[in-house]
């Protein structure tokens, strides 16, 4: 996934500001992800070169940033709207399919035979309604923030949207859960959502297979370049955030030491950070064991209560989720330690502390 926050960190002044605004418009503008990522990567390339040449950002995006966004994210491609609609239906059906399976697995005390069991689709419908309302409201707020306000804090904006979404869901559930039930026979939900989800996946696979060998090779090469680019941007763009955290901790330790009448230097701090870097392997093992316990305990519980099928399904679901989370933990840890190494090395070379180092991003 393209880390546009990291990209914005690598731009400066008016370029950074414009990029952030356009990113917020694209990110919250109900735009297909591949189109949004493609446009943002292209814009980043153009901005980097224009910034290097010292060109004013207006030369690239014009005076009216709102008009630019509308034009830039517009898709004129034939059949795009139909494809986009089908894609959304595919996603929703996959969510319903997974939800129904989880609902089936979690309601282990349900004794009715499978064919008589029902699933309550109310939470899914509620999620969709809250999501749709948020898209509309969010888009209006977004337009105001992006085009009328001068200063913008995208992270804060995304957090507010997330909180509103969770609040909407919790509020909706507590207000209507006892009053509204959308009960549908489980087997019907599983068949319909399963067939549509699988058909959607198959269509995508067939489309990929239909491609010529040359374009497949090109796709593979492009994917590799894209991955390298994303990792590079994430790393370099993330340096500012890592340095910012380091500077905060460095200042805190320095203050504490000074209160005790002691001296605290960059070299002292480097030793502490180095210890953190050295513990990467043990940290990963510890997290791996912890995640393993999260998977094993509920599954063992199911097996003890003799729900073997449920135990197996639950095991697969939990293992899939936990592996994904664990991998992100390991990756995050690796990137962070690499950032520590780079920052410490540069501080040592230039004989500065992390606070000085951070200033280069201003």
Q: Which residues bind another protein (CB under 8 A)?
A: 39, 41-46, 48-50, 52, 59-62, 67-69, 71-72, 74, 76-77, 218, 222, 225-226, 228-229, 232-233, 236
- By beta-carbon proximity to another protein, the closer residue of 117 and 236 is 236
- How far is 113 from 340, CA to CA, in rounded Å? 57
- By beta-carbon proximity to another protein, the closer residue of 224 and 334 is 224
- By beta-carbon proximity to another protein, the closer residue of 60 and 134 is 60
Least gap, CB of 236 to another protein (angstroms): 8
Burial class from Cβ neighbours inside 10 Å (0-12, 13-18, 19+) for residue 202 reads exposed
Least gap, CB of 307 to another protein (angstroms): 49
Dihedrals φ, ψ of 119, to 5°?
Answer: -125, 140
The first and second tokens of residue 25, run together, are 């418009």
Least gap, CB of 21 to another protein (angstroms): 13
Least gap, CB of 26 to another protein (angstroms): 12
307: Cβ contacts below 8 Å, ≥ 6 apart: 108
Rounded to a whole number of angstroms, the distance between the first and last alpha carbons of the chain is 26
- By beta-carbon proximity to another protein, the closer residue of 229 and 283 is 229
- By beta-carbon proximity to another protein, the closer residue of 60 and 330 is 60
Q: Where are the alpha helices (DSSP H) in the chain?
A: 4-10, 13-27, 33-53, 58-61, 65-72, 80-106, 122-147, 154-176, 186-210, 213-259, 266-278, 280-304, 308-350, 354-359
The first and second tokens of residue 116, run together, are 């008589």
Least gap, CB of 214 to another protein (angstroms): 11
């Amino acid at each position: 996934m393209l880390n546009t926050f990291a990209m914005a960190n690598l731009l400066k002044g008016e370029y950074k500001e414009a990029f952030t605004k356009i990113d917020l418009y694209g990110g919250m503008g109900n735009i297909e992800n591949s189109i949004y990522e493609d446009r943002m990567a292209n814009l980043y390339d153009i901005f980097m070169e224009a910034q290097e040449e010292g060109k004013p950002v207006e030369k690239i995006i014009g005076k009216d940033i709102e008009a630019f966004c509308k034009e830039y994210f517009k898709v004129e491609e034939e059949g795009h709207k139909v494809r986009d609609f089908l894609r959304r239906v595919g996603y929703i059906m996959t969510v319903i399919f997974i939800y129904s399976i989880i609902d089936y697995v979690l309601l282990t005390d349900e004794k009715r035979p499978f064919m008589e069991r029902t699933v309550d689709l109310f939470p899914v419908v509620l999620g969709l309604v809250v999501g749709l309302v948020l898209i509309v409201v969010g888009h209006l707020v977004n337009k105001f923030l992006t085009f009328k306000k001068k200063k913008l804090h995208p992270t804060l904006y995304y957090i507010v949207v997330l909180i509103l979404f969770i609040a909407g869901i919790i509020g909706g559930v507590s207000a209507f859960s006892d009053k509204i039930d959308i009960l549908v026979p489980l087997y019907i939900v599983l068949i319909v959502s399963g067939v549509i989800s699988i058909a959607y996946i198959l269509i995508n696979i067939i489309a990929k297979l239909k491609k010529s060998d040359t374009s497949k090779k090109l796709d593979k090469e492009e994917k590799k370049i894209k991955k390298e680019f994303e990792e590079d941007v994430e790393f370099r763009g993330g340096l500012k955030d890592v340095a910012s955290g380091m500077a905060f901790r460095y200042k805190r330790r320095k203050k504490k030491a000074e209160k005790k009448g002691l001296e605290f230097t960059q070299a002292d701090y480097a030793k502490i950070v180095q210890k953190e870097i050295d513990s990467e392997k043990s940290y990963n093992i510890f997290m791996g064991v912890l995640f393993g316990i999260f998977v094993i305990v509920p599954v063992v519980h199911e097996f003890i209560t003799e729900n073997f099928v449920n135990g197996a399904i639950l095991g697969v679901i939990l293992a899939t989720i936990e592996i994904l989370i664990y991998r992100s933990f390991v990756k995050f840890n690796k990137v962070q330690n690499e950032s520590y190494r780079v920052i410490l090395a540069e501080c040592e070379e230039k004989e500065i502390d992390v606070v000085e180092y951070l200033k280069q991003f201003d």
